[in-house]
Chains A and B, each alone.
Chain A
Amino acid sequence: DSGVTQTPKHLITATGQRVTLRCSPRSGDLSVYWYQQSLDQGLQFLIQYYNGEERAKGNILERFSAQQFPDLHSELNLSSLELGDSALYFCASSVDGTSNEQFFGPGTRLTVL
């Protein structure tokens, strides 16, 4: 158990809908990262937050957005969902914004029908 928690574990929804994925980092960690893992793309970095501020952006679609709250938990919002958004979404956390080791949560499996 890495200490990173994610909810929900599974999410099934329809095309065009909007969902919110939630992540709580390890105790004491200030930085949160979101990754998407699909069968054809592998594990891809989406976005990083550090102490409430956006720190880095990867291949995140405009339909996706994220934020980190004062209690350091983070939410990833996915809107206008398409079939191709079906994937595992992982949150990771690290001690600070420059720390190397990132510890991953158990993931949320999103299925878009």
Chain B
Amino acid sequence: EDQVTQSPEALRLQEGESSSLNCSYTVSGLRGLFWYRQDPGKGPEFLFTLYSAGEEKEKERLKATLTKKESFLHITAPKPEDSATYLCAVQGWVAGNMLTFGGGTRLMVKP
């Protein structure tokens, strides 16, 4: 069974204070690892897909990296508008197309 664990559950940062969110996973053959951003009461917004260890992707202040056991979402010089819950999900070859999500990291960036 595919499993995803995210840490920390919540993270409070000052504006400009860089940090990283962790996503540890076990999967029966990784098809893809996904990062989503979710604002309260809204649907998850797609950020990145990573396919193989060593891959990195960037978008504005966010950079996602992938190893064989975990992924990191690095946030550089965050702004208050980056406050949201960040969700990590995996898609394995055995489980088909379903995404298995972690519990998320709730990020709060204070001005």
State how many residues of chain A have any CB contact under 8 Å with chain B. 28
Between A33, A43, A94, A101, the greatest number of chain B beta carbons within 10 A of the residue's beta carbon is seen for A43
A58 at the interface (CB under 8 A from B): yes
Between B43, B44, B96, the greatest number of chain A beta carbons within 10 A of the residue's beta carbon is seen for B43
A107 at the interface (CB under 8 A from B): yes
Chain B, interface size category, equals 20 to 34
Q: A43-B87, A104-B44 are in contact. Are A48 and B32 (CB under 8 A)?
A: no
CB contacts (< 8 Å) of A107 on chain B: these are 41-43
B70 to chain A, nearest CB (A): 18
A7 at the interface (CB under 8 A from B): no
* A83 to B96 alpha-carbon distance, docked (Å): 31
Q: A100-B31, A101-B49 are in contact. Are A43 and B97 (CB under 8 A)?
A: no
B65 at the interface (CB under 8 A from A): no
- In the A-B complex, the 10 residue pairs with the closest CB atoms: A104-B43, A45-B98, A43-B101, A100-B32, A56-B96, A104-B44, A106-B43, A42-B103, A107-B43, A105-B43
Kindly list 19 other residue pairs between chains A and B, CB separation below 8 angstroms, not including A43-B44, A44-B101, A101-B49: A2-B46, A4-B43, A31-B97, A35-B99, A42-B103, A42-B104, A43-B87, A56-B95, A94-B97, A97-B97, A100-B32, A100-B49, A100-B91, A101-B34, A101-B46, A103-B46, A104-B43, A104-B45, A107-B43
